[in-house]
Amino acid sequence: MAIKIGNLVRWVSSHSSYEANGDVLVGIEPIYKYGVIVKISKTQPTHSVVAAVDDARWHILDMKFDAIEVISDGVKNG
Protein backbone atom coordinates (compact mmCIF):
# COMPACT_ATOMS: atom_id res chain seq x y z
CA MET A 1 0.00 0.00 0.00
CA ALA A 2 1.38 3.40 -0.96
CA ILE A 3 1.58 6.01 1.75
CA LYS A 4 -0.35 9.25 1.49
CA ILE A 5 -0.91 12.34 3.59
CA GLY A 6 -3.09 11.57 6.61
CA ASN A 7 -2.00 7.94 7.02
CA LEU A 8 -1.27 6.73 10.53
CA VAL A 9 2.01 4.83 10.26
CA ARG A 10 4.51 3.06 12.46
CA TRP A 11 8.21 2.44 12.03
CA VAL A 12 11.01 0.82 14.02
CA SER A 13 12.96 3.49 15.88
CA SER A 14 15.21 1.15 17.87
CA HIS A 15 15.38 -2.27 19.50
CA SER A 16 15.19 -3.13 23.19
CA SER A 17 17.47 -6.15 22.84
CA TYR A 18 19.93 -7.56 20.36
CA GLU A 19 21.53 -10.90 19.60
CA ALA A 20 24.78 -11.76 17.88
CA ASN A 21 24.67 -13.31 14.44
CA GLY A 22 28.32 -13.92 13.61
CA ASP A 23 30.04 -10.52 13.64
CA VAL A 24 26.76 -8.60 13.40
CA LEU A 25 24.27 -7.55 16.08
CA VAL A 26 20.65 -8.08 15.08
CA GLY A 27 17.72 -6.37 16.84
CA ILE A 28 15.15 -8.86 18.08
CA GLU A 29 12.63 -6.72 20.02
CA PRO A 30 11.64 -3.66 17.97
CA ILE A 31 10.52 -0.40 19.55
CA TYR A 32 7.92 1.27 17.34
CA LYS A 33 7.07 4.95 16.92
CA TYR A 34 3.69 6.03 15.60
CA GLY A 35 2.85 9.15 13.61
CA VAL A 36 0.77 10.79 10.91
CA ILE A 37 2.12 11.53 7.42
CA VAL A 38 2.08 15.32 7.03
CA LYS A 39 4.02 15.82 3.80
CA ILE A 40 5.52 13.72 1.02
CA SER A 41 8.44 15.14 -0.94
CA LYS A 42 7.71 16.00 -4.57
CA THR A 43 11.36 15.66 -5.58
CA GLN A 44 12.07 12.49 -3.54
CA PRO A 45 8.75 10.59 -3.22
CA THR A 46 10.36 8.04 -0.87
CA HIS A 47 10.87 10.80 1.74
CA SER A 48 8.03 11.86 4.01
CA VAL A 49 7.55 14.11 7.01
CA VAL A 50 5.76 12.49 9.96
CA ALA A 51 4.36 14.11 13.10
CA ALA A 52 4.96 11.57 15.88
CA VAL A 53 2.03 10.81 18.16
CA ASP A 54 3.92 9.99 21.36
CA ASP A 55 6.46 12.83 21.55
CA ALA A 56 4.97 15.48 19.19
CA ARG A 57 8.24 15.69 17.23
CA TRP A 58 8.76 15.85 13.49
CA HIS A 59 10.56 12.96 11.79
CA ILE A 60 11.76 12.58 8.21
CA LEU A 61 11.43 8.99 7.04
CA ASP A 62 12.87 7.39 3.93
CA MET A 63 10.97 4.35 2.64
CA LYS A 64 14.27 2.94 1.30
CA PHE A 65 15.70 2.59 4.81
CA ASP A 66 12.76 2.86 7.26
CA ALA A 67 10.25 0.01 7.25
CA ILE A 68 7.05 2.06 7.29
CA GLU A 69 3.82 0.19 8.01
CA VAL A 70 0.44 1.85 7.38
CA ILE A 71 -1.84 1.37 10.40
CA SER A 72 -4.80 3.47 9.26
CA ASP A 73 -5.66 4.79 5.82
CA GLY A 74 -6.68 8.23 7.13
CA VAL A 75 -10.00 10.01 7.26
CA LYS A 76 -12.45 9.59 4.40
CA ASN A 77 -14.38 12.68 3.28
CA GLY A 78 -18.13 12.37 3.09
pLDDT averaged over consecutive 10-residue blocks of the chain (78 residues)?
88 93 91 94 93 92 90 70
- Tell me, yes or no, whether 51 lies in a domain: yes
- How large is the C-alpha radius of gyration of the chain? 14
Amino acid at 12: V
- Tell me, yes or no, whether 1 lies in a domain: no
- Tell me, yes or no, whether 54 lies in a domain: yes
Quote the domain boundaries for residue 45: 8-71
* Domain count of the fold of the chain: 1
- Tell me, yes or no, whether 3 lies in a domain: no
pLDDT at 2: 80
C-alpha span between 6 and 76 (Å, rounded): 10
- Tell me, yes or no, whether 22 lies in a domain: yes
C-alpha span between 29 and 31 (Å, rounded): 7
Residues facing residue 60 across a β-bridge: 49
DSSP-derived pairing of the beta strands 30-40 and 8-15: antiparallel
C-alpha span between 43 and 31 (Å, rounded): 30
- Tell me, yes or no, whether 34 lies in a domain: yes
Q: Rounded to two decimals, what is the model's pTM?
A: 0.79
